[in-house]
Amino acid sequence: MKIGIAADHGGYEFKNHILDYLKDHNYKVTDYGAFVYDEADDYPDFIIPLAEAVSKKEIEKGIAICGSGVGAAIAANKITGVRASLINEHFSAHQGVEDDDMNVICIGGRVTGVAVAVS
């Protein structure tokens, strides 16, 4: 499965943990940034290219991370063909994919623990 991941400064550290986890589990991952921590960056600069890649089917699923996850979800859902949702726990993640055809999961890097995300 081809997965894309993107985050602004609010999710930068979290993204790197998830990216390492995915690579360690042999997923093919495209990183849409941020590539360095920059407190002045803004989530649409990274989330929109990720969402466009999902829309164009360049990747199958996306992981969009900002501080709360809310902005990432709003930005991603502006792209035709993207079904993004803020997820904070396992049940909604499963239901979102299985019942609602969610193709971008949005996570709050400042509110969701890495242990929850990788389990």
Question: Catalytic amino acids?
Answer: 66
Q: Does residue 43 contact residue 66 with C-beta atoms inside 8 Å? A: yes
| φ/ψ (deg, to 5) at 4 | -115, 150
∠ Cα 76 61 19 (to 5°):
95
Write down the number of H helices and E strands in the chain: 5, 5
The Cα–Cα gap between 107 and 109 comes to 6
